[in-house]
Structure 1
Amino acid sequence: MMEDTRWLNQVQWDEQGLVPVITQDAASGEVLMFAWMNREALSLTAEHGEAVYWSRSRRKLWHKGEESGHIQKVRDIRIDCDSDVVLLKVEQVGGIACHTGRRSCFFQQYLSEGRWEPVEPVLKDPDQIYRKD
């Protein structure tokens, strides 16, 4: 029997067939990252319990952590009141969500001097995370 996918039809996909996704730490509530999903990515995320996104730059599915090992174990999937934004609550394996080696992608803070300043530490050098063989 085929899986019921009506729940995917409730999502308000944009003209490219994408929906924005906010990813949050399930325990602390900290926002870890923002990304996009297409229908297949959301379906795979729900099916396997690990975050799968759509990479707009690479134009392909992206299983978070496929290169770094920093997978996101999904604890909850929600949708907003307009059905056009997905919220993932995850357990961030390895404690690093950002490709820069930081806990969160939101590590830059606006300062009154009119500039952005990194305010979160690099936990692991990206060259050690993404080894080029």
Structure 2
Amino acid sequence: MELPNLGAHTKGKHVTGGQDAKEDTINDQGDLIDDSQNHVSTLDVTAGGTFNLDTPQGNLDQYLESGLIRIIGTPGAGTTIIVPDGDKRVAFENSSGQSTTIDTVTGATPTRTLVDGSAKIFHVR
């Protein structure tokens, strides 16, 4: 069973009664909770275009376990980041020099714009 507040991360499991190495599961959960509050991940948008965090290349686990996603790089124009639905809070800081559109699913409205130099917390439903 996944722990909903820890996203889709493969380490976010409950301890079961007959489980061996319960301490490993508990330590993993503690690490995930610590990272979700303190860890900063970076997303390089230099290539421009659209970045879908819900793909193998998007490495969704890495981003959902972070307290902040810092958008970096030097794209030639604004970019779009697609965040999967799932009742999560995701914090972004835009340091890319361009505006970034945050979208919960492709084509969803309304989208949110994160201008360069700003940070926002989004609740993705």
Give the TM-score normalised by structure 1: 0.27
Give the structure with the larger helix fraction.
2
